[in-house]
Amino acid sequence: MLKLELRAGSSRSMAYFSPVLALSLTIFFGALLFLALGKNPLTGLQVLLIDPISSKAAIAELLLKTTPLVLCALGLSVCYRANVWNIGAEGQLIAGGLAAGSTILLFDTASPVLSGGFVLVLATIAGVIGGALWASITALLRDRFHANEILVSLMLTYIAQLMLMYAVSGPLKDPHGMNFPQSKVFSSDFVLPHLLHGSRLHIGFVVMLVATALMTVFIYRSFAGYRLTVGGLAPLAARYAGFSSRKALWLSLLISGGFAGMAGAFEVAGPIGQVLPSISPGYGFAAIIVAFVGRLNPVGSIFGGLILSLFYLGGEMAQSRLGLPSAITGLFQGMLLFLLLACDTLINYRLRWKK
């Protein structure tokens, strides 16, 4: 019989091999899924995994989608390391995008007072503040009333979506938009500059790389990051050492909300170029998978972000070329998360054949 046997200690090599094994199993079960749907498995996997990176323009689009995923995952990694289970990055992204879009519309007039670059900086700051403030509601309710942060942050996501719908149907609605619930399109001066000619990849990708480096230093080389990690791994030891759990709660949620708000600002001021009823296709939720695929490591989040971006683009191509439903993207994301959690069991356990 095949049995799970407890290891003497956690396997460090398995901790890094687990995401690779989970991805391999996802591809294998994905091939079986294509076969069950009556599609050629090789053709399906090619459309899902190869075609999205088959050209320079396709790679640029992949990196574009990676940017908001990694930014959200950076903040979520901090929360999860501190044992604060923030599930509302999607709502914080929406709040940040709404704040950034409102800031741009405030200055995007016929005779602009400020330069476009300065307004974009203000919009990014507004997005960070908007996301952090939205996350602070969760921190406040958890701190003062011991509310469950999972439920609170998740419910706030739907409130943020309703606020966005109200804004584009009322105060931010384009008076010349033929009654569609959307703001006016931003002027070219108030859109993030592109990195590659002919692509939508913008300067936010560079900001994401810098943020990844800074968060790596924060988590592994700063005392504040050390306190958050200790508080998550050993709460009693952290309390004995005098580390404040309240500070850890507030700091982790504000960082997470700020990064998600920045992602929303980059989406509004980048590929979207206006405020729409839907800013994100679910980046905040997908970033949870990104964070765990990356082992709650900032650099690992880039690896996870590339995989999830590939699923987004491949899922869109599978819809148009193979006639598959839009749920194919979420299905592959869900399989990856489920198999990752299953493979993580092998970090503390090993498989043994026994008679």
Instruction: Categorize the per-residue pLDDT at 192 as very low, low, confident or very high, splitting at 50, 70 and 90.
Output: very high
In this prediction, residue 62 carries a pLDDT of 95
In this prediction, residue 169 carries a pLDDT of 95
The pLDDT of residue 340 is above 90: yes
pLDDT per position as a tens digit, 269-306: 999 999 999 999 999 999 999 999 999 999 999 999 99
In this prediction, residue 70 carries a pLDDT of 97
* Verdict on whether the full-model pTM lies above 0.85: yes
Average pLDDT over residues 152-169: 97
In this prediction, residue 150 carries a pLDDT of 96
Average pLDDT over residues 51-69: 94
In this prediction, residue 110 carries a pLDDT of 61
In this prediction, residue 208 carries a pLDDT of 97
Average pLDDT over residues 47-63: 92
Per cent of the chain over pLDDT 70 is 99
Per cent of the chain over pLDDT 90 is 78
Average pLDDT over residues 318-331: 90
In this prediction, residue 354 carries a pLDDT of 77
Average of per-residue pLDDT values in the chain: 93
Instruction: Categorize the per-residue pLDDT at 355 as very low, low, confident or very high, splitting at 50, 70 and 90.
Output: confident
pLDDT per position as a tens digit, 231-265: 888 888 888 888 888 899 999 999 999 999 999 99
Average pLDDT over residues 211-225: 95
Question: For the chain, what are the domain ranges?
Answer: 68-310
Average pLDDT over residues 96-103: 96
In this prediction, residue 111 carries a pLDDT of 61
Measured CA to CA, the distance from residue 306 to residue 320 in angstroms comes to 21
